[in-house]
A = this chain, B = another copy of it.
Amino acid sequence: MDRLLAGDAERRPRADARRNVERLVDAARTAVAEVGVDVTAHEIARRAGVGIGTFYRRVPSREALLEAVLAEVLDEMIEVARRAMADPDPWRGLTEFATAYVQLRAASCGLNEALGGECGLTLPQLAPLRDQLRLLVGHAHEAGVLRPDVPWEDVAFVLASVTTSTRTIGLRAGADQWRRNLRIVLDGLHAAPGR
């Protein structure tokens, strides 16, 4: 993350320069979550309270900043998936990952777009995340807790779908709609649903 600074090593940068990098990264985090991956450099600079000149002096490019910010969250997701694999109860592991995963997606519009692809950003964490999900679903399949006729790709798609619709037919979703949707989907996925 600190590697965003253009000229690394050399000398310690001035205090205001360091402070502004921090502000820019913070602003980028909230901005990409609220606005999406198409958030402009000017908007991030405005939120950070710095000029656009400072933005381009501190950050190699708008893309690099967004990729760095999104990479943080993706790494977190992969870590959650890894921990879920260790759960002795495969179904609980899957549901706990699913909940964390969907919650992160619901909290960040930009992350949601990034996971959907076609946003021009380069995100190397996508493949590892996909692999972890496949393993996790495989686990659940072997334990017989997940419907056998549902391949792991379908799990990826339904989990992705759960966060997307914040409004429909004039209805406005509450902040926890993703949780309600997820419960329905998980019940639909469970091989032995508890009603």
> Footprint of B on A, CB under 8 Å?
115-118, 126-127, 129-130, 133, 147, 150, 153-154, 156-171, 173, 177, 180-181, 183-189, 193, 195
With A117-B170, A170-B117, A185-B184 as known contacts, state yes or no: A165 contacts B160, CB within 8 Å: yes
CA distance A170 to B189 in the complex (A): 22
Pick the contact of A188: B130, B154, B167, B184 (CB < 8 A): B184
- A130 near B171 (CB under 8 angstroms)? yes
A-B contact pairs, 10 of them (CB 8 A): A116-B166, A116-B168, A117-B170, A126-B169, A127-B170, A156-B168, A160-B164, A161-B181, A164-B164, A188-B189
With A154-B181, A158-B184, A185-B185 as known contacts, state yes or no: A170 contacts B118, CB within 8 Å: no
Majority secondary structure, A binding face: helix
**A103–chain B nearest beta-carbon distance, Å:** 15
- B168 near A115 (CB under 8 angstroms)? yes
- B127 near A153 (CB under 8 angstroms)? no
Chain B, Cβ-Cβ closest to A105: B168
- A157 near B161 (CB under 8 angstroms)? no
Closest 4 CB pairs of A and B: A188-B188, A160-B168, A164-B164, A160-B165
16 additional A-B pairs beyond A150-B180, A157-B171, A158-B185, beta carbons within 8 Å, are A116-B165, A116-B167, A133-B169, A147-B195, A154-B180, A157-B180, A160-B164, A160-B165, A160-B168, A161-B164, A164-B164, A184-B188, A185-B188, A187-B187, A188-B188, A193-B193
- B181 near A157 (CB under 8 angstroms)? yes
- A157 near B129 (CB under 8 angstroms)? no
Chain B, Cβ-Cβ closest to A123: B170
- A117 near B167 (CB under 8 angstroms)? yes
